[in-house]
Structure 1
Amino acid sequence: MHIPLRTPDLIIVVLYLLGITWFGLRFRSRGERSIRSYFLADRNIPWWAIALSIVAAETSTLTIISVPGIAYTTDFGFLQLVMGYLLGRGVICVLFLPRYFRGELMTAYQIIGERFGSRLHRTTAFLFLLMRAAAEGVRVFAVAIVVGVAFGTGDIASIMILSLLTLLYTFEGGMKAVIWTDVLQMCLYVLGTLVSLWSITHHIPGGLHSLIAVASSAHKFTVFHFAVSVTETYTFWAGLLGGCFLTMASHGTDQLMVQRLLAAKNLRESRLALLSSGLVIFIQFSLFLLIGAGLFVYYRIAGGPPHAASPDRIFPLYIVHQMPVGIAGLMIAAILAAAMSNLSAALNSLASTSMVDFYLPRHQQQGEEQKTKISRWMTFGWAAVLLFLAILSRSGGHVLEIGLSIASVLYGGMLGVFLLGTVTRRATETGAMIGLIAGCVVNVMLWRQSGPLSVYGFVLPKIAWTWYVLIGSTVTFVLGYFFSRGGGNQAARSRI
């Protein structure tokens, strides 16, 4: 049974929702505006704002509610994956970013068209739309978990409230509104996270000292698991290698992140934004995991948690039941800030890919005003799609892991294509297309696998989702390279 927030907390949440919407609307255009301005904010955003925007987009509601749930049920092993995130960022700075800043690009997939051709260009752009829409549907549903616990509303009503408010300022302000609302929202949810940690330690007899002592005795602070296994999700090798490849795909080939990096003034500031965001992410995930360990200690002392359908609801239930008046409202507003930040980024990136990679090649003759108008309506259309997918994605389990595993299915093939274009001159469009299809098929099979699978007498174990991108990109690269042998003129094109 849901227990809605008290009146002062509700007032804080409502004021936040109205305030952030008003703030985002301040970036609406006052006259004719180009799509370069609408989707890239005229490439005039400072690096630190892009870094905070990257963190905000990477954080989402899934992170805030699901990472504490992971620490509550297991330990700090998730940080192994975050270490891979840091390594992946370094590879992107060396391998991909210099290519993106060689021309006037607005999406990650235009560069595939320059290297391979229009067929693979449209295919990778379509896969992004498919992947981002599916993954974002799960993320939008995560909003319903928080709003439903706080307000006592149903899932559908909760999703609609946040979606409509986020759409309003994203529709009007474009990328500039997205980035600057991200900065404000990140400051809010970091503040809320610190206040939550203070509240938990305040409720534990003995405070922080007892939290650390009890959590240590329960091995909650264990980070490294050096088992060599493809079935365990959080091991050192799965985290370092799997996290590296996942970040190379998510931040190097996914328009959601690439669009932010392209909004930087130059290559140097883009690299600085990406690397500094990694340090913030590591600190942030550590805080979320510490909250989960604190909840474990608190409920062990208190005699057990309230009834919850999944570990993802433990933290929202604590906020509503245990936090003081005013503080609970602040934390709910902080979680909603992360949700709106991620949703606005998804809407803008989906619209930019639809516009630049599919609409513009056939309608170059239209004026900038008309193109911007159509871009706005594409934003509206994708909001409707995500709303529908969020309603369909209601299910149990760790929503963070569900969201990441969905993205990982297609990330492998996408990353493999970008690597084919970057590290070899031999790859052709046909070879890369064959590799892409094979990589995606392999990852779908791994994702759909419910247990050990027998193939020609060999028993394949159920592989953890953290390995999906590495496996998929390897299959794509190897087969793409093999089928590009003797590939003629396309193989002679310059590298990405």
Structure 2
Amino acid sequence: MQIIDLLVIVAYLVATAWLGLVLSGKQKDLKDYFIGGRTLPWWAVCLSIVATETSALTVIGIPVMSYLGDLNYLQLGFGYILGRVIVAFLMLPRYYDGEMITAYAYLGKRFGQSTQTTAGLTFLVTRLLADGVRVLAAAIPLKVILDGFGIHTSYFVIIVVLSLVTILYTFIGGIKAVVWVDVAQMLLYVVGGILAIIIVTATVGGGWVTDAVEAGKTNLFVFEGNPISSSASFLPSFIGGAVFAMASHGSDQIIVQRLLSCRTKVEAQKALIWSGLIVFVQFAIFLAVGLALWTYYGQATPTELGLTRDDEIFPLFIIEGLPTGVSGLLLAGILAAAMSTLSSSLSALSSSTVNDVYARLKRTPMTDEQGFRVGRWATIGWGIAFILPATVFESDSGSIVILALGIAGITYGGLLGAFIFGIFNRRANAVDANVGFAAAVAVNAFLFVMEKYVTGEVWVAWQWYPLLGVIVTCVLGGLLSLRHPAPAMRERVSTS
């Protein structure tokens, strides 16, 4: 690493904040700030969705999966595509009905304010924890860089700097700034991944492909193992991945907020489905990076390379194996991925805080001016709050990708289950939905805590968490709903 690499990274951080502010335009009201006045083109929203769900986890976490294993992570990509198609035609039309600003407004419309507030609060907590891991993922390569320059600092300081820069353009520019910066950031880190493959191939030749094939590292489908507890098996990856995508893209405000910023429902559907195809290609690119590095480093393990975390494989190559200037560009790409997710989270957390919590708890009607002001302060508050979980999860030695997805999966099932429950069970009321939702979150949280902090054993693969949550919510809520008369019977009783 040379000083020019550090200058490239600093220049990128400054340019990102500037670009977001220039492209955002003036924000006049809540609709402008949170869903861009519904004026954003579908292709920009599509790329923003991809950038948001990618984060630094994909850039540094996925290469190590193929480096240490094979290509079975792509099985998840097939499920992701299926799940998005279902969301596009089952859930999106309901969001566009009634000019909603958050995903949880549908639950409020169907079950009442208590369910909307419960879902909103759950989203806030889960997103805070999961994205704390994503911020940590961005801090890992930056710490390696600074150590190389003799600047020994803590993860805490790096996380604070990243958070402050992202807060700046999100606070002022709102969702428009977030989406347009996401587009630029996504192009940067994808080009960075492709560039890494080209440079490795130029260094070691195309033999890395042959090496991977001969070692069985190009296996895509895995049908062995326990389909309940093995996260590498096809069934949890495909079916669980489809349900996971339905939850993340149909009930998570961070994605729904983008879809609601499209001009029409049809454009939102197009953006959602195309994002699944692009994510699949993106997975393939970074898995190929891992296979190439496996040959580049002579099949050495991370420990043999002197690394303290497996996730440092790709950052190590960026620092040691790339030409001056290119290293800085690729590291800026990792920052791009991290900041796109962080900015997206800040905007989504802020909108949910205002519309699902503040507006519901406020005794008098909320004005646009009040909501706008609270939304901006919420952006600052949540940006600062990211620092704590990012620091806490620093000690976790497992896969950083699986850690983040597992945390998100704890509540995804309950949220998705509440939506499905509300759509198909017309007999249910708010109590039925809330009890089913709470039970689903409790079951998944129990499994996660037992695996991570008690037994160390995987009882249920993380891909199954959303489906398990849906089942618990719908079954328990459905049983409770039997206490009430069916809608038709209710009408007959009221008229008599």
Q: TM-score, normalised by structure 2?
A: 0.93
Tell me the residue number matched to 2:176.
Answer: 176
Tell me the residue number matched to 2:242.
Answer: 244
SS of the equivalent of 1:449 reads helix
Tell me the residue number matched to 1:131.
Answer: 126
Aligned equivalent of 1:72, options 61, 64, 67: 67
Find out whether 1:14 has 2:10 as its counterpart.
yes
Tell me the residue number matched to 1:326.
Answer: 325
Find out whether 1:82 has 2:77 as its counterpart.
yes
Aligned partner of 1:19: which letter? A
SS of the equivalent of 1:300 reads coil
Shift of 1:301: 6.2
Kindly provide the CA deviation profile for residues 377-435 of structure 1, in whole angstroms up to 9, marking residues without a partner as x: 11001111112221222122211110000011111111111110112212222221221
Residue pair 1:68, 1:289 contacting (<8 A) in 2 also: yes
Aligned partner of 1:264: which letter? C
Distance 1:200 1:321 in 2: 12
Shift of 1:183: 0.5
What does 1:221-232 correspond to in 2, within 5 Å?
Answer: 221-227=218-224, 228-232=226-230
Shift of 1:369: 3.2
Shift of 1:231: 1.4
Tell me the residue number matched to 1:61.
Answer: 56
SS of the equivalent of 2:451 reads coil
Tell me the residue number matched to 1:144.
Answer: 139
Distance 2:322 2:398 in 1: 25
Distance 2:101 2:93 in 1: 14
SS of the equivalent of 1:307 reads coil
Tell me the residue number matched to 1:350.
Answer: 349
What does 1:303-342 correspond to in 2, within 5 Å?
Answer: 306-342=305-341
Aligned partner of 1:8: which letter? I
Residue pair 1:88, 1:243 contacting (<8 A) in 2 also: yes
SS of the equivalent of 1:394 reads helix
Distance 2:228 2:371 in 1: 47
Aligned partner of 1:122: which letter? T
Tell me the residue number matched to 2:150.
Answer: none
Range that drifts further, 365-374 or 11-20: 365-374
Kindly provide the CA deviation profile for residues 305-349 of structure 1, in whole angstroms up to 9, marking residues without a partner as x: 621112111110111011111111110011100111000000000
Tell me the residue number matched to 1:279.
Answer: 277
Find out whether 1:384 has 2:407 as its counterpart.
no
Find out whether 1:43 has 2:42 as its counterpart.
no
- Provide runs of 4+ in structure 1 moved above 6 Å: 301-304, 489-494
Distance 2:107 2:470 in 1: 16
Aligned partner of 2:64: which letter? G
Distance 2:238 2:366 in 1: 47
The structure-2 alpha-carbon separation of the partners of 1:301 and 1:139, relative to structure 1 and needing over 3 Å to count, comes to closer
Distance 1:405 1:301 in 2: 29
Kindly provide the CA deviation profile for residues 86-133 of structure 1, in whole angstroms up to 9, marking residues without a partner as x: 010011012100111111100011110110111111111111011101
Aligned partner of 1:439: which letter? A
Distance 1:120 1:365 in 2: 19
What does 1:439-450 correspond to in 2, within 5 Å?
Answer: 439-450=440-451
The structure-2 alpha-carbon separation of the partners of 1:375 and 1:489, relative to structure 1 and needing over 3 Å to count, comes to farther
Distance 1:214 1:365 in 2: 65
The structure-2 alpha-carbon separation of the partners of 1:302 and 1:277, relative to structure 1 and needing over 3 Å to count, comes to same
Range that drifts further, 228-237 or 119-128: 228-237
What stretches of structure 1 of length at least 5 have no aligned partner? 455-459
Residue pair 2:31, 2:101 contacting (<8 A) in 1 also: yes
Tell me the residue number matched to 2:197.
Answer: 197
The structure-2 alpha-carbon separation of the partners of 1:378 and 1:309, relative to structure 1 and needing over 3 Å to count, comes to same
Residue pair 1:225, 1:235 contacting (<8 A) in 2 also: yes
Tell me the residue number matched to 1:259.
Answer: 257
Give identity over the alignment, percent.
Answer: 40
Shift of 1:486: 2.9
Tell me the residue number matched to 2:155.
Answer: 155
Find out whether 1:462 has 2:463 as its counterpart.
no
Range that drifts further, 177-186 or 391-400: 391-400
Aligned partner of 1:271: which letter? Q
Distance 1:445 1:335 in 2: 33
Tell me the residue number matched to 1:457.
Answer: none
Distance 1:71 1:149 in 2: 22
Tell me the residue number matched to 1:101.
Answer: 96
Residue pair 2:71, 2:287 contacting (<8 A) in 1 also: yes
Distance 1:493 1:122 in 2: 27
The structure-2 alpha-carbon separation of the partners of 1:143 and 1:431, relative to structure 1 and needing over 3 Å to count, comes to same
